[in-house]
Amino acid sequence: MLAFEYIDDNERLEALVRQYEQADLLVLDTEFVRTRSYYAKLGLIQAYDGQTLALIDPLAVTNLSVFWALLTQPNLIKVLHSCSEDLDVFAHYAQCQPAPLFDSQIGASLAGLGHSLGYAKLVEQLLSVNLDKGESRTDWLKRPLSQAQLDYAANDVYYLYKLYPQLIETLKNQSRLDWVLAESERITQNRLTPVDPEEAYLKVKNAFQLLPKQLACLRDLAKWRLEVAVKRDMAVGFVIKDHALISLSKKQPKSMAQLAKLTDLTEQEKRVHGKKIIEIMSQVSDEFLPEPIDVIALKTGYKSAFKAIKQVLVTQAEAAQVPIELLGSKRHIHEYLRWLWDGKKGDLPLILTGWRANIVGDHLNDIAV
């Protein structure tokens, strides 16, 4: 059982922060619950500087601002593992992103240890320690937390601190530490920018199937749904499902009677949102219709172009011993193709920047797409 401090009041947190401010390294993790809510519900913060392992109770501490200030302290590197969801938590609660940041999952990937390694697997691989993941389904908002739950949470930062030096040494030997720091910084970008309600329809599954007038309906419905979700802190799918929005946009009911006949909406959705839906549908304008959604996979020559680019990336990824998923995912290839087919206008695509450019180099210039 690891020794830790349970921080549940402002005074103790302030004293802890004063200590952490003197450190060079702070390992972090968060535990949260996100089932029906739009925003994750923060249940616990774990932190370890090599001296004091702290479990911070955000349900008891009333002022976390002093702790959040550590996230942007420039001389304090923040270490997290597979931190995408943690970054969302920080964006919402702290209104900032950790910098400088080292994501150990990215570090392990670029060190050649395996792509998307889970924390327990990485600990086992580098430290020969088998972690008990039995508390992974804990309700972190419930109090009191059991000793087993607290130990589980403490393990998530304790062993990460222990394995960090091994990762750093390997990456320095490979001259890839800068790659990891750059990639870790990249994944923090744009997380403080809220979703534009006017563009929420672009994230609705199968929106590309719709004609301009139908897209206009979807645009207005998706905007309303997002605003409701944020206001009520509900996951958008619990306001109304994607497939229901698509059905509404295609059939465009003008009355409650017509709405009642639609089978893609639940009776509860019709009862709770029916009048508002009809109101929105009645106000959709024929002016300023959205452009049809451009689906790159439907373009002429897409399959052969994608295959050629993917083969180049696979070859270079193997030569550099970098996972292809990290070097150039399907989304990254699409970004490159759009840029290429648009006459190379605008910002360079990701695979032609930073450490990826070191690997890909001019190899993509050798193919005709």
Q: Known catalytic residues?
A: 29, 31, 86, 152, 156
Q: Residue 189 — φ and ψ, nearest 5°?
A: -70, 145
- CB count within 10 Å of CB 351 equals 23
Structure tokens at 154: 């403490």
- CB count within 10 Å of CB 342 equals 9
Per DSSP, the residues of 247-313 read HHHHH---SHHHHHT-SSS-HHHHHHHHHHHHHHHHT--SSSPPPPP--GGGSTTHHHHHHHHHHHH
Total residues belonging to the chain: 369
Q: Residue 328 — φ and ψ, nearest 5°?
A: -155, 95
- The strand pairing partners of 30, in sequence order, are 45
DSSP state of 130: -
Q: Which of 179, 135, 128 is nearest to 326 (CA)?
A: 179
Strands 41-48 and 25-33 come out as antiparallel
